[in-house]
């Protein structure tokens, strides 16, 4: 019923050491990127507030990962965001983008230093130029205060690989805010331009 094999221990044979050659739709995202026209729409007591931001994100290939027969190729990432002309961190995020070729599946994990973790999943073809990943309520964990005051019930991220070599994302974090009857859509979007190439994963060097 699960679609998984009976043999849950045996790893696949012939695993390729070169992660960059096996990233499917994630391949164009590998490298170091900057975006200077980010837009964040966040909740405030007086209503939604728009905030421009500047972003730097590093996505580096990791060695192939297995769970028995399951095989992932992926990118480890670190995102650092500031407001224009400022030094203080506005947002920071770490995690992984993972591609499972056999299932045409994508996983995006994120952790932020305000006590929240998310795992979003989606499907795509190996040559897809657009894809979307979604995390439902059971794939989101927040610290007790956020659960009480800003309860995240869904997360979505849409990625577009652009013809000019850039890539863009559009995020929607849906929250139930204490004292409000309707969900709030906390959105973020940006377009990233490559500033440096990725470093090959350790096994491929």
89-142 pLDDT per residue, tens: 999 999 999 999 999 999 999 999 999 999 999 999 999 999 999 999 999 999
Q: Tokens standing for 83?
A: 């407001």
Residues in the chain: 205
Within 10 angstroms of residue 140's Cβ, the number of other Cβ atoms is: 22
d(CA 109, CA 3): 23
The string of pLDDT tens digits covering residues 184-200 is 999 999 999 999 999 99
CA distance 203 to 15: 11
pTM flag (> 0.85): yes
- Kindly tell me if the per-residue pLDDT of 28 is higher than 70: yes
CA-based angle 66:137:187, to the nearest 5?
100
The answer to whether the beta carbons of residues 89 and 107 sit under 8 Å apart is: no
């Amino acid at each position: 019923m699960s679609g998984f094999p009976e043999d849950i221990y045996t790893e696949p044979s012939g695993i390729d050491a070169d992660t960059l050659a096996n990233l499917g739709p994630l391949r164009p995202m590998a490298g170091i990127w900057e975006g200077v026209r980010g837009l964040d729409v966040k909740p405030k007591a007086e209503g939604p507030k728009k905030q421009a931001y500047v972003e730097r994100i590093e996505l580096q290939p990791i060695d192939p990962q297995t769970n028995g027969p399951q095989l992932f190729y992926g990118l480890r990432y670190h995102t650092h965001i500031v407001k224009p002309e400022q030094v203080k961190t506005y947002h920071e995020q770490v995690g992984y983008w993972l591609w499972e070729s056999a299932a045409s599946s994508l996983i995006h994990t994120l952790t932020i230093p305000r006590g929240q973790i998310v795992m979003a999943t989606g499907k795509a073809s190996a040559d897809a130029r657009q894809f979307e990943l979604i995390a439902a309520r059971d794939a989101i964990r927040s610290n007790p205060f956020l659960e009480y005051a800003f309860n995240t019930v869904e997360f979505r991220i849409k990625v577009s690989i652009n013809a000019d070599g850039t890539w863009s994302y559009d995020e929607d974090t849906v929250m139930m805010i204490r004292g409000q009857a309707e969900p709030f859509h906390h959105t973020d979007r940006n377009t990233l331009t490559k500033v440096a190439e990725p470093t090959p994963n350790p096994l491929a060097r």
